[in-house]
Amino acid sequence: MNVKIQSIKFDADKKLLDYVEKRAVKLEHFFDNIVETEVFLKLQNSQDLENKVVEFRVKVPGGDLFAERKAKTFEEATDVCIEAIKVQVKKHKDRLRGA
């Protein structure tokens, strides 16, 4: 699986990029046919403490799965996104088995 990570409006450090990639690769445990995963890390200009946004777009045969979450840290937002994508991957896998 190919993982592409883009940081928007800031330069992400290697530790953050490695963390996100490590978490994204684990999605393959739930579904082997993931073609590509795109991750967008965004820093919003707001006074809110939860100004870190993580978006996951997972390309699978038959469509794309998407999740976006805001949190105080990129790691926290990544973890919540991964959980949301896991649910979507399992549903997609069940739909493929039922077809």
**Is the per-residue pLDDT at 58 higher than 80?**
yes
**Is the per-residue pLDDT at 99 higher than 80?**
no
What integer pLDDT is reported at residue 71 of this predicted model?
95
The model carries a pTM of 0.90
E strands in 9-98: 36-43, 52-60, 63-71
Architecture of domain 2-98: 2-Layer Sandwich (3.30)
User: What is the average per-residue pLDDT within 59-65?
Assistant: 91
Counting other chains too, the contacts that 5-8 makes at CB distance below 8 Å and 24 or more residues apart are 5/38, 5/39, 5/41, 6/38, 6/39, 6/40, 6/41, 7/41, 7/42, 8/40, 8/41, 8/42, 8/43
At a CB cut-off of 8 Å and minimum separation 6, what does 4 contact? 36, 37, 38, 39
